[in-house]
A and B are shown apart, each in its own frame.
Chain A
Amino acid sequence: MRRNQVAVVGAAETTELGVIPNMSQIQLHADAALNAVADAGLKLSDIDGIATAVETPQQIAHYLGITPTWVDGTSVGGCSFMLHVRHAAAAIEAGLCKTVLITHAESGKSMIGKLPRSIPADSLQGQFEAPFGVYGPPSMFPIPVLRYMKTYGITHEQIAMVAVVQREWAAKNPRAMMKDPITVADVLNSRMIAYPFRLLQCCLVTDGGGALILTSADRARDFPKKSVYILGTGESVETPMVSQMETFNSSRAFKIAGPTAFREAGITHKDVDHLMIYDAFAHLPLYGLGDLGFMPHEETGKFIADGHTRPGGKLPLNTNGGGLSYMHSGMYGMYALQESVRQMRGIAPAQVKDAKISVCHGVGGMFAASGTIIFTNEK
């Protein structure tokens, strides 16, 4: 894909985030979509492309009254929206559609109008994982981390620092769910969930949503808000079974999606001003820093523990507070994208001064999928 041919011209989250007991999941999609359309100064009738995950494109298109000429229902978990951005950019460049709406919403906490997730007993997961007591992401996502820690000499305290630093960022974000400062001791004394991870190393469970509007960059000057350009993109998948990953020392999907986006963008790691790495659990930023090539995996724990990703550090990471402290409705990727767009527009509550390039890296499932989007505010 060519650089800077497509722009984000509208971006918004749901009016409220957190606990939203008065709205069903589909209405959360609509709330986010209407906010994004207003942000772009458009009408719903201007939208001719639609992408969403978990809910189907036909469900969201019909609910909103949109008649699309291009749809994408890629649903690979929490990074689906990174893949939607990539696919939408390609579709716009190819002339398949002009203005794409990407929506995410989940009634993750209140569970209103949310389809149940279940694992069929005759699926491979149902036969070769479910019988051994896996029960939701906290029992699965951390399974690789003890191996990773042993291989690279990462300590429990270093991983606890991921949560501490992200809480520092969350404190600067009025919409963050958890803002009170925490210490490494607080993290390591919080309730055990799935050893080695404790409550404060696991993502929140909240309600909310977000939406993005993309169009061709040559139209970008027609919009009321600052446009944010798509500089590079990448995607991959590995396996829906965490037990079947090639190795627990890295994520194959990360190692393809991230470097593909860097190559496409034509940038080096030194060019990155702002970074988002989807943090459903506290080990993910370490995997991300290593697999995206910012540093060898051995150095990731020390890098975060030394404070390089905290406010004022040289590599601001997860500046909204992340899935650990900002919000996590189940598929957090959309909120990481929203924060990257805010940073590139210069309107983030914890704004990184003069940031020009933002890397936004997502995970889907338990290292099952990955998508990376690199944004810039300079054309």
Chain B
Amino acid sequence: MAEPARARPKPTPETQHFWDGTQAGELRLQRCDACGNVYFPPRPFCPSCASRKISVFKASGKGKLYSYVINHRPAAPGFTPPYAIAVVELDEGPRMMSNIIDCPQTPEALELDMKLEVAFEKLDDKITLPMFRPAKG
């Protein structure tokens, strides 16, 4: 039997641009053309002012560690515990859940507010996940 796999996201019409972006090595966010609000997760209108005039843009991929847990048990399929489940605050404002790679999964190494940068991890031919690693320099 194959190893149990990590939960695989299935894009919808409203989120396809995001997942196309990660495959192309871009973290794509949306900005409201009417009020300037940058938001996540994706939707074709602004949750702040309800305008349908919005644009997709390439985010900087930079952010900082807002909070996390280090999950020991039970572990999700496809994960080897302990592993951190993090919430990253992007420089553009929105927050997103992710994992922190290239970093020990310990409270000592995972300091709140540490600077992070996006890294892309290919799950299969169709899906690439946005991960974060400690920012260089």
A contact set with B: CB distance below 8 Å: 119-122, 124, 126-136, 138-140, 142-147, 150, 191-197, 241-244, 248
Residue numbers in A under 8 Å from B98 (CB-CB): 132
Contact A136 B69 (CB under 8 A): no
Please give me the residue from chain B that is nearest to A197 by CB atom.
Answer: B69
Known contacts A146-B112, A243-B97; 10 further A-B pairs (Cβ under 8 A)? A128-B96, A131-B7, A133-B71, A133-B76, A133-B83, A138-B73, A142-B69, A195-B71, A195-B107, A244-B40
Residue numbers in B under 8 Å from A196 (CB-CB): 69, 107
Residue numbers in B under 8 Å from A193 (CB-CB): 72-73
Residue numbers in A under 8 Å from B87 (CB-CB): 143, 242-243, 248
With a 10 A CB-CB cut-off, give which of B41, B85, B112 has the most chain A CB atoms: B85
Contacts A/B (CB < 8 Å), 21 sampled: A122-B10, A122-B11, A126-B7, A127-B10, A127-B15, A130-B7, A133-B78, A134-B85, A135-B74, A139-B69, A143-B85, A145-B67, A192-B70, A192-B72, A195-B69, A195-B70, A197-B69, A241-B97, A243-B97, A248-B67, A248-B87
8 Å CB interface, B1-58 against A: 6-12, 15, 19, 40-41
The 3 closest A-B pairs by CB, nearest first: A135-B76, A195-B70, A127-B9
State the interface size on chain B (CB cutoff 8 A): 39
Residue numbers in A under 8 Å from B135 (CB-CB): none
A182–B122 alpha-carbon span in the complex (Å)? 46
A143–B110 alpha-carbon span in the complex (Å)? 13
A71–B11 alpha-carbon span in the complex (Å)? 36
Residue numbers in A under 8 Å from B67 (CB-CB): 143-147, 248
Residue numbers in B under 8 Å from A120 (CB-CB): 10
Residue numbers in A under 8 Å from B82 (CB-CB): 192, 195
Please give me the residue from chain B that is nearest to A148 by CB atom.
Answer: B67
Please give me the residue from chain B that is nearest to A122 by CB atom.
Answer: B10
A319–B67 alpha-carbon span in the complex (Å)? 31
Residue numbers in B under 8 Å from A138 (CB-CB): 71, 73-74
B95 adjacent to chain A (CB < 8 Å) = yes
Residue numbers in B under 8 Å from A241 (CB-CB): 41, 97
B116 adjacent to chain A (CB < 8 Å) = no
A191–B40 alpha-carbon span in the complex (Å)? 35
B120 adjacent to chain A (CB < 8 Å) = no
Contact B107 A127 (CB under 8 A): no
Contact A121 B10 (CB under 8 A): yes
Residue numbers in B under 8 Å from A121 (CB-CB): 7-10
Contact B72 A135 (CB under 8 A): no
Residue numbers in B under 8 Å from A127 (CB-CB): 9-12, 15, 19, 41
Given known pairs A143-B85, A243-B87, A244-B41, the reply for A131 and B6 (CB within 8 Å) is yes
Task: Tell me the smallest distance from the CB of A116 to a CB of chain B, in Å.
Answer: 15
B119 adjacent to chain A (CB < 8 Å) = no
Contact A132 B97 (CB under 8 A): yes
Given known pairs A133-B75, A142-B69, A143-B85, the reply for A243 and B10 (CB within 8 Å) is no
Please give me the residue from chain B that is nearest to A127 by CB atom.
Answer: B9
With a 10 A CB-CB cut-off, give which of A120, A127, A142, A150 has the most chain B CB atoms: A127
Contact A124 B41 (CB under 8 A): yes
Residue numbers in A under 8 Å from B70 (CB-CB): 192, 194-195
A130–B98 alpha-carbon span in the complex (Å)? 10
Task: Tell me the smallest distance from the CB of B46 to a CB of chain A, in Å.
Answer: 15
Contact A133 B99 (CB under 8 A): yes
Residue numbers in A under 8 Å from B9 (CB-CB): 121-122, 126-128, 130-131
Residue numbers in B under 8 Å from A248 (CB-CB): 66-67, 87
